[in-house]
């Protein structure tokens, strides 16, 4: 299983688990992640979802080998599934936290951006080298990127293919905090959420996202 789901103490932990390929995302991984997210939407009394990667990488992005070797129709299907999964993550009615270590690139960056809060280690680095690989970064992902960092910094990533170190990502607002103790930082947030009712947590998540959408508009 290349995407693991663990439910413990009112928290769902989703782990991208393909460390030999730096958690590059295959079509199978997108499908599995989407199924897990669908299941979580109907799970009672959860207060948060934590997304992370195994083996010192968050995700190096899409599996380019799969995309280059597949038939065009199959590639289109994978891209549609990836977009649907990112949107499913974004619209999940629970607080979503990205725990980032190592590379967070391309489609991996899109997944991180779908989360409400992003915390990274100093070893993290961020980029969206889509044009370099002949890939069009989908408009819905561009919209979210611009919402988070603004059009200028988004252009640095998309046009310039820049790779940001952790602290530069913090400066631009791509991540919310950089710390060696990412797990401890996530646990502090979870401690506050576990002390609240699921209804209160869900209402707060909805309000936060509505405010963010209004501010972006």
Predicted local confidence at residue 44, as pLDDT: 87
Largest CA distance in the chain: 49
Can you tell me whether residue 209 is helix, strand or coil? Answer: helix
Confidence of residue 79 (pLDDT cuts 50, 70, 90): confident
Predicted local confidence at residue 70, as pLDDT: 62
d(CA 90, CA 209): 9
Q: Which among 91, 96, 61, 66 has a CA at the least distance from the CA of 78? A: 66
Q: Which among 141, 209, 216, 188 has a CA at the least distance from the CA of 11? A: 188
| pTM for this entry | 0.95
Predicted local confidence at residue 28, as pLDDT: 95
> Which tokens is 107 given?
């489609």
Asked if 92 and 41 count as a contact pair (C-beta separation under 8 A), the reply is yes
Predicted local confidence at residue 204, as pLDDT: 96
- State the residue for tokens 């919209």: 143
Domains of the chain: 3-216 (3.90.226.10)
Question: Across residues 196-216, what is the average pLDDT?
Answer: 92
Question: Across residues 107-119, what is the average pLDDT?
Answer: 97
- 45 pLDDT more than 70: yes
Predicted local confidence at residue 138, as pLDDT: 86
Q: What are phi and psi of 63, to 5 degrees?
A: -75, 100
> Which tokens is 4 given?
């693991």
Look over the chain and give the mean of its residue pLDDT values, rounded to a whole number: 93
Confidence of residue 49 (pLDDT cuts 50, 70, 90): very high
Model confidence pLDDT, tens digit, residues 131-186:
888 888 888 899 999 999 999 999 999 999 999 999 999 999 999 999 999 999 99
Question: Element (H or E) spanning 71, and its range?
Answer: none
């Amino acid at each position: 299983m290349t995407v693991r789901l663990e439910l413990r103490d009112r928290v769902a932990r989703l782990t991208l688990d393909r460390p030999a390929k730096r958690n590059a995302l295959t079509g199978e991984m997108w499908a599995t992640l989407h199924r897990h997210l669908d299941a979580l939407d109907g799970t009672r009394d959860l207060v948060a979802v934590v997304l992370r990667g195994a083996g010192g990488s968050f995700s190096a992005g899409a599996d380019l080998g799969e995309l280059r070797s597949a038939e065009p129709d199959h590639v289109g299907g994978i891209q549609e599934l990836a977009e649907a999964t990112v949107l499913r993550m974004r619209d999940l009615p629970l607080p979503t936290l990205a725990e980032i270590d190592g590379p967070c690139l391309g489609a991996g960056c899109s997944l991180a951006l779908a989360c409400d809060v992003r915390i990274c280690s100093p070893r993290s680095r961020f980029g969206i080298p889509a044009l370099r690989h002949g890939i069009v970064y989908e408009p819905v992902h561009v919209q979210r990127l611009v919402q988070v960092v603004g059009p200028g910094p988004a252009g640095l990533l998309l046009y310039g293919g820049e790779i940001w170190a952790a602290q530069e990502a913090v400066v631009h607002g791509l991540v919310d905090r950089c710390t060696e103790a990412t797990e401890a930082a996530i646990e502090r947030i979870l401690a506050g959420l576990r002390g609240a009712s699921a209804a209160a947590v869900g209402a707060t998540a909805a309000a936060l996202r509505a405010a963010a959408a209004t501010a972006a508009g």
